[in-house]
Amino acid sequence: LLDKHPSGRHFLQIPGPSPVPDRILRAISLPTIDHRGPEFGALGLKVIAGLQQVFRTRHPVCIYPASGTGAWEAALVNVMSPGDKVLMFETGHFATLWNKMALRLGLDPEFLALPGYDEATGLPNSWRHGVQADQIEQRLREDSDHRIKAVCVVHNETSTGVTSDIAAVRRAIDAAGHPALLMVDTISGLASADYRHDEWGVDVTISGSQKGLMMPPGISFNALSPKAIEASKSARLPKAFWAWDEIIEMNRTGYWPYTPNTNLLYGLSEALDMLLGQGLPAVFARHQRWATGVRAAVNAWGLPIQCADPNVYSPVLTGVITPPGVDADALRRLIHDRFDLSLGAGLGKLKGRMFRIGHLGDCNDLTLMGALSGVEMGLKLAGVPLAGSGVAAAMAQFAGEPSVPDVLK
Ligand code: PLP
């Protein structure tokens, strides 16, 4: 087994889990302490206050010892009652999974989508564009008796590399004069892409640890609004472990009603120091810069980017569509075996049609150059005809741009 262990660092270039900085891994390895003891409350208060800064909210943020899927469920069961109608928007695989969850919980989800298929690739338009706020507004205007209780959208659709304009969704709800709650999944957007819970009028934001926060998987979050907290008091879906009320109450002194994930909270504390120490504008700027470099590579190869609308390119990941007849999963396997580089798979309707390059969290220009070299060599080994060198294009992009934009100096 040791003989087979590759030397050097594995390139974890999937859009989450993202590579965990050594500093965070070291913090996680500290001894576990008493979660009811005097030191713990200070840690709890610190991480909650730091998360409020990252979500850009003054209101409670609940932390769950669960993956992002748990936080999705928490969001729905806290504010919904059996049979409630929720309006969701199909942006890709994760929006589809959340829609399925709503069905399993006994809700009545309606799944809006951008109609039609893209002529060149045959892929659904909805999986190449962001949420269409005008479709949401129109549907809400038709709902004159206000049967729709929530609008649920994914901010950064990890399966496609498309970001959605959440402020526009808020404006659409307001323009329709509709009281529905706005619930947003930014599991892969938080701490990589600009996000503003309070300013954008979001009622519940859902996120997770293993993406922009540079942590291992295992904790996830619900950021709340006063309106969401009020709705949770009369909502009738069963809730116990996920219930916000007891968590909010005990969080006032930095404790939880159950045993929290102590060591991951050490890691979270370190991650927050790193992100807030650098400043969120700088964090967002470096993700945008990496995304621009990676797109320069994909364009130079002459391969289509999954996101068909340049206004909503994701700063977190780039989806690359492979030419007809090239199995993207076989290509990923080849790249993994030859170069010890993991790329994201095409999910759901995109299986085998595309792969995803993650450019989030603990990256830098050179790790991305290494990753792009692996992809380019893999494409050549697989016999994919390339228009030019993506590596050269990305180098030119990275070398030509200052790593810290002037406005942030
Ligand atoms: N939503 C989005 C946008 C995601 O990217 C993911 C995971 O990648 C999930 C939900 C599900 O989260 P988890 O796999 O942590 O349960």
* pTM beyond 0.95, yes or no: yes
| Strand (E) or helix (H) holding 267 | helix 262-278
Q: Is the CB of 212 under 6 A from ligand 1?
A: no
Ligand 1, residue 159: give the atom nearest the CA.
5
- Which of 187, 195, 220, 261 has most ligand 1 atoms within 8 Å of CB, for mutation? 187
pLDDT category of residue 7 using cuts at 50, 70 and 90: confident
**Of 120, 137, 214, the residue nearest 177 (C-alpha):** 137
Distance 7 CA to ligand 1 centre (A): 30
| Strand (E) or helix (H) holding 183 | strand 181-185
What is the sign, positive or negative, of the torsion defined by CA atoms of 8, 10, 13, 15?
Answer: negative
> What residue's CA is closest to ligand 1, atom 13?
68
Mean pLDDT of 9-17: 96
User: Which residues on neighbouring strands pair with residue 150, listed in sequence order?
Assistant: 86, 181
> What residue's CA is closest to ligand 1, atom 5?
158
- Which of 188, 204, 220 has most ligand 1 atoms within 8 Å of CB, for mutation? 188
Q: Is the CB of 221 under 6 A from ligand 1?
A: no
Ligand 1, residue 154: give the atom nearest the CA.
3
Q: Is the CB of 113 under 6 A from ligand 1?
A: no
Distance 69 CA to ligand 1 centre (A): 6
Distance 213 CA to ligand 1 centre (A): 14
Q: Is 172 helix (H, G, I), strand (E, B) or coil?
A: helix
**Residues 43, 254: contact at Cβ < 8 Å?**
yes
* 347's tokens: 């999910």
Share of the chain above pLDDT 90, in %: 95
Per-residue pLDDT reduced to its tens digit, 107-138: 999 999 999 999 889 999 999 999 999 999 99
In residues, how long is the chain? 409
**Residues 263, 50: contact at Cβ < 8 Å?**
no
Distance 68 CA to ligand 1 centre (A): 5
Q: What are phi and psi of 122, to 5 degrees?
A: 75, 5
What local confidence, expressed as pLDDT, does residue 409 receive? 65
Mean pLDDT of 215-233: 98
Ligand 1, residue 156: give the atom nearest the CA.
3
Per-residue pLDDT reduced to its tens digit, 287-296: 999 999 999 9
Integer Rg of the chain from CA: 21
Q: Is the CB of 187 under 6 A from ligand 1?
A: yes
Distance 352 CA to ligand 1 centre (A): 20
Q: Is the CB of 91 under 6 A from ligand 1?
A: no
**Residues 303, 357: contact at Cβ < 8 Å?**
no
Ligand 1, residue 210: give the atom nearest the CA.
15
Per-residue pLDDT reduced to its tens digit, 139-196: 999 999 999 999 999 999 999 999 999 999 999 999 999 999 999 999 999 999 999 9
Distance 99 CA to ligand 1 centre (A): 13
Give the whole-angstrom CA distance, residue 194 versus residue 318: 17
| Strand (E) or helix (H) holding 305 | none
> What residue's CA is closest to ligand 1, atom 12?
68
Distance 314 CA to ligand 1 centre (A): 16
Q: Is 265 helix (H, G, I), strand (E, B) or coil?
A: helix
Q: Is the CB of 208 under 6 A from ligand 1?
A: yes
pLDDT category of residue 3 using cuts at 50, 70 and 90: low
DSSP string over 322-350: PPTT--HHHHHHHHHHHH-EEEEEP-GGG
Domains along the sequence of the chain with CATH: 11-19+279-408 (3.90.1150.10), 22-278 (3.40.640.10)
Q: Is the CB of 389 under 6 A from ligand 1?
A: no
Burial class (CB in 10 A: 0-12, 13-18, 19+), 342: middle
Report how far apart, in Å, the C-alpha atoms of 8 and of each of 25, 50, 169, 340, 391 are: 18, 34, 45, 9, 21
Distance 79 CA to ligand 1 centre (A): 20
* 315's tokens: 């700063």
What is the sign, positive or negative, of the torsion defined by CA atoms of 31, 34, 37, 41?
Answer: positive
* 70's tokens: 């748990």
Q: Is 408 helix (H, G, I), strand (E, B) or coil?
A: helix
Is 332 annotated in some ligand binding site?
Answer: no
* 182's tokens: 């706005």
**Residues 229, 248: contact at Cβ < 8 Å?**
yes
Q: Are strands 108-112 and 85-89 parallel, antiparallel or unpaired?
A: parallel
- Which of 14, 69, 211, 222 has most ligand 1 atoms within 8 Å of CB, for mutation? 69
Per-residue pLDDT reduced to its tens digit, 294-346: 999 999 999 999 999 999 999 999 999 999 999 999 999 999 999 999 999 99
| Average pLDDT of the chain, as a whole number | 96
User: Which ipTM did the prediction report?
Assistant: 0.99
Distance 187 CA to ligand 1 centre (A): 6
DSSP 302: T
DSSP 229: H
Distance 289 CA to ligand 1 centre (A): 24
